[in-house]
Each structure stands twice: as C-alpha cells, then as structure tokens.
C-alpha cells in the first residue's frame, strides 16, 4: 500500500492511496474460505461447496468490503501520523472508469485543511465587562416580597391597591378560561384599576387586554396564553371576581430571619439586606459572565482573520447529508454555519495555546456544586456528602451530561482567561439598567 499527498494550496490537498492485491488477498481468501465452510447451497453438502461457486456468489462483495476497510484504516492512520488538521472528512474523488475487476486499485481524496492563524485576545477597543449590583430599590422590594410571602392572608369584601384577587378570565373566541390569583400591582393605569376596585365577590367586568398590564408577559399567567400571543394581544376578556385578600406583612424579627437563614446568620434588618444583596450579586455574576463571553466571542470572530477552504466545505456539505443538496442549498448551509465554524477554530486555538483542560476531578467538583445549587432551590440546603456523591455518580455515568457539564466548565475557564488577558473596561450597573442596556 502506498499513500502520497499532493499539496494544492495552504487549505487544500489531495491524498492518493494505492492498494495492491498483496494488501488484501490473504484476508479475502480467509473470509471466502470461512463462507465455504458455512454456506448452505442446494445440491451441495455443507462445507463441500466449490470455491469457484463461493467466489462467484460472494467474491465481489467481500473484496469491496475488505478494500474499503483497508482504505479507511490507512487514511485515518495517515492523517494521524502526519498530524493533518482537517475540516470535515476526506471526500473521495469520483472515478468514472473505476474497475473492480482489476487487481490493483487507486483512490483519491480531497482534503480541506484547517487554516494557520494567531488569536489576539487584547484588542485596541475595550470590551465592556458589566459588574451588576443590587441597588437599594431591588433590595427593599425583595424585603417587602419576603414579608408578604410570610405574612398573614386576610380576606376582604372590597378591592384596594395592593390587594390580591382570585377570579376567572374568559374569552370564548380564544377559548380562554383561566382561574388565577394576582396582585393589583400588575394592572396598568387608573382606568383599569378603578374597574377592579368597583368589584365585589361574584361581580364580573369586561376588560380590554391591550394596556391591561404593566408587562405583557403577565398575560401569559393571567390568561394562560402563549408567549407569542401575549405580545400585542388585543381582545376583550370577562373577569369574574371570587375572592379579595390582602397580606399583613410579617414582622422583621429573629423568627423570620431564622426561617430564611437557619443558624443565626441573620440577626437584623441590616443583616438581611446585606444577605439579599450578596446572594443577588452572586447570581448576577453568571449573567455578566455570559454577556462577556458573548461579546468576546463576537469580537474574536470579527477580528481574527483567516481564510477557509470554502469550496471544499460547500462540496462536503453538499454530499455528506442524508440526501445530496443543490449548489444553492449547499451555499446557503455554508453561510449559516461559517460563523460558528470560525469560532470553533478560534476557541480550539485559544484552548490549545493556553493549555486549558478539564480534568475528571474538576468536573466532579463542578458537578457537586451544580447539584447542591439545584437541591437548595428545592429546599435541601444541607444535603449529606453521601447523597451528593450518589447523585454525582449517576450524573457522570451519562455521557450527554458529562459533555454538557464539561462544556460549561470550559466556558468558565475561557471567561476567567478573558478577564485576565482581554482588553476590558468595567462598568458598574444596577440589574434594571443592565437589562435595559443589554436587551433593550
């Protein structure tokens, strides 16, 4: 067997593989001999079928299968030994005059080679790194929400601002019939508030959904409509009031503090606000990091210039799917995937250059933290080490979970690297301002 490479340019090459009869004859003969021993052909005793008949019936299929195995193994070994970084997979070049009756065979494969390039993390223009803070308004609102949550519910006959209403929204045309409880704080405008305030238990009122609530997303819960329907929904709904309740706020005392944070960690309103601020800002770090990762990714893709073997990749896309694509379809698919491919190459280069790796021990610790966080959300704030270890074992036995967690951990490592090496400018903002600035 002989393998040679023809260099076309920096991004394209052709590999030629020559296979002779000596490369495959022994294996083909061994397989055919085994077939002869096992073949059940009418008119012949088992194990006594003439070899000529076996060759006639199975010879071509065995030859093709064995040559293809040799070809694939040789090609994979060659790419590994030559340390060729290829994009996609080698594409066989069509041979119109190929003859399986011959004893020696020659195959050619097109290769798309990965470009050589450098990545500069520190650009001229600084990228904004948001430091999201919990401002006084957010903290005070959270304190009030806690006091409401742990306060007493008091039934009422009349409706006033701040009350909680339980009732049913209906609309026959849209098949809406949803019983729900909501706070009047969600309702927008004095005119709508006055309509609710005029109600007593058992009363009904017709309302227009347009400008009914301060945030259209609240219509999803009130009416049980989809996210898309909630935007710009302009219909009339009937609301029938069933109950009016108000909440007597819980006192900020040690009993409440211990319910929220067992162990005496909070002993005053100031401690509570400090704890709320600390916990909120820990959660904000994840959003800030994700924004930074997105922005650095965008910067790197826009500013790291290199060519791709686009003609090869389009041909590869065209011929390796479930069904062949037209030239136009292949071009369209390539345009959709080009940006993602560029970042994959850039990210791979960064990981290699900075020797970023995910060890099993790191992955295990990361999984523990992830599981403890999930358990805390369901009220299990102090799980035993044994329980956590058992869950981690189950999670890490699932290859899809291992892949997902490994990608998350590598993203954290990349963010840490960007914080150290990229040209960043820190901007301190409240969460409300962050949402406005980033998401509009």
pLDDT for 379 equals: 66
User: CB within 8 A of 32, min separation 6: which ones?
Assistant: 51, 54, 55, 58, 59, 62
Specify the pTM: 0.74
Token pair for 80: 């590994």
In the chain, pLDDT over 90 holds for what percent of residues? 75
User: CB within 8 A of 387, min separation 6: which ones?
Assistant: none
115-161 tens-digit pLDDT: 999 999 998 999 999 999 999 999 999 999 899 889 999 999 899 88
51-100 tens-digit pLDDT: 888 888 888 999 999 999 999 999 999 999 999 999 999 999 988 888 99
d(CA 203, CA 241): 6
User: CB within 8 A of 207, min separation 6: which ones?
Assistant: 192, 195, 236, 237, 238, 239
pLDDT for 136 equals: 94
CA-closest candidate to residue 115, choices 349, 350, 355, 356:
349
pLDDT for 341 equals: 95
If one compares 168 and 96, the residue with the highest pLDDT of the two is 168
- In order of their start, the domains of the chain are 2-113 (3.30.70.1050), 152-248 (3.10.50.30), 268-439 (1.10.3120)
User: CB within 8 A of 112, min separation 6: which ones?
Assistant: 11, 12, 86, 87, 88, 308, 309, 312, 313, 316
In the chain, pLDDT over 70 holds for what percent of residues? 99
Q: What is the mean pLDDT of residues 217-221?
A: 91
406-438 tens-digit pLDDT: 999 999 999 999 999 999 999 999 999 999 998
If one compares 245 and 262, the residue with the highest pLDDT of the two is 245
Mean pLDDT score across all residues of the chain = 92
pLDDT at 217 over 70: yes
Q: What are phi and psi of 296, to 5 degrees?
A: -65, -40
- CA–chain centroid gap for 422, Å, is 24
pLDDT for 51 equals: 86
Q: Is 309 within 8 Å of 11 (Cβ atoms)?
A: yes
pLDDT for 381 equals: 66
Direct distance between the N- and C-terminal alpha carbons of the chain, in angstroms, rounded to an integer: 63
* Residue 159: how many other CB atoms lie within 10 Å: 23
pLDDT at 248 over 80: yes
pLDDT for 407 equals: 94
pLDDT at 385 over 90: no
d(CA 106, CA 25): 16
305-335 tens-digit pLDDT: 999 999 999 999 998 888 889 999 999 999 9
Q: Is 106 within 8 Å of 18 (Cβ atoms)?
A: yes
């Amino acid at each position: 067997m002989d393998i040679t490479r023809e260099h076309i340019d920096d991004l394209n090459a052709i590999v030629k593989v020559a296979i002779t009869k000596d490369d495959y004859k022994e294996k083909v003969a061994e397989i055919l001999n085994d077939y002869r021993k096992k073949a059940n052909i009418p008119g012949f005793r088992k194990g006594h079928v003439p070899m000529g008949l076996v060759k006639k019936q199975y010879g071509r299929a065995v030859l093709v299968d064995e040559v293809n195995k040799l070809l694939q193994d040789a090609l994979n070994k060659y790419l590994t030994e030559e340390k060729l970084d290829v994009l996609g997979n080698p594409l066989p070049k069509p041979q119109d005059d190929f003859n399986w009756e011959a004893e020696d065979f020659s195959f050619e494969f097109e290769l798309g080679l990965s470009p050589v390039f450098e990545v500069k993390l520190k650009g001229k223009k600084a990228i904004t790194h948001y430091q999201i803070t919990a401002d006084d308004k957010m903290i005070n609102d959270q304190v009030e929400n806690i006091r409401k949550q742990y306060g007493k519910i008091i039934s009422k006959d009349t409706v006033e601002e701040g009350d909680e209403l339980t009732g049913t929204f209906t609309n026959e045309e849209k098949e809406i019939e949803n019983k729900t409880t909501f706070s009047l704080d969600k309702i927008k405008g004095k005119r709508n508030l006055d309509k609710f305030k005029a109600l007593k238990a058992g009363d009904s009122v017709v309302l227009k959904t347009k400008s009914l609530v301060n945030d259209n997303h609240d219509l999803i819960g009130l009416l049980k409509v989809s996210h898309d329907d909630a935007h710009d929904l302009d219909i009339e709904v009937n609301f029938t009031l069933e109950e009016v309740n108000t909440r007597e706020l819980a006192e900020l005392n040690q009993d409440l503090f211990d319910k929220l944070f067992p162990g005496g960690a909070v002993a005053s309103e100031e401690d509570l606000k400090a704890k709320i601020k600390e916990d909120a800002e820990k959660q904000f770090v994840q959003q800030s990091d994700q924004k930074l990762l997105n922005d650095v990714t965008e910067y790197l893709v826009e500013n790291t210039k290199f060519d791709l073997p686009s003609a090869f990749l389009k041909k590869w896309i065209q011929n390796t799917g479930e069904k062949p694509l037209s030239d136009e379809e292949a071009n369209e698919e390539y345009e959709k995937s080009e940006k993602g491919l560029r970042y994959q190459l850039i990210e791979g280069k960064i990981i290699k250059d900075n020797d970023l790796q995910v060890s099993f021990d790191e992955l295990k610790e990361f999984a523990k933290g992830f599981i403890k966080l999930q358990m805390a959300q369901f009220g299990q704030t102090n799980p035993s080490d044994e329980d956590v270890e058992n869950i981690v074992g189950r999670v890490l036995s699932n290859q899809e979970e291992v892949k997902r967690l490994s990608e998350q951990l590598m993203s954290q490592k990349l963010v840490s690297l960007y914080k150290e090496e990229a040209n960043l400018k820190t901007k301190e903002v409240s969460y409300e301002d962050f949402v406005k600035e980033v998401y509009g």
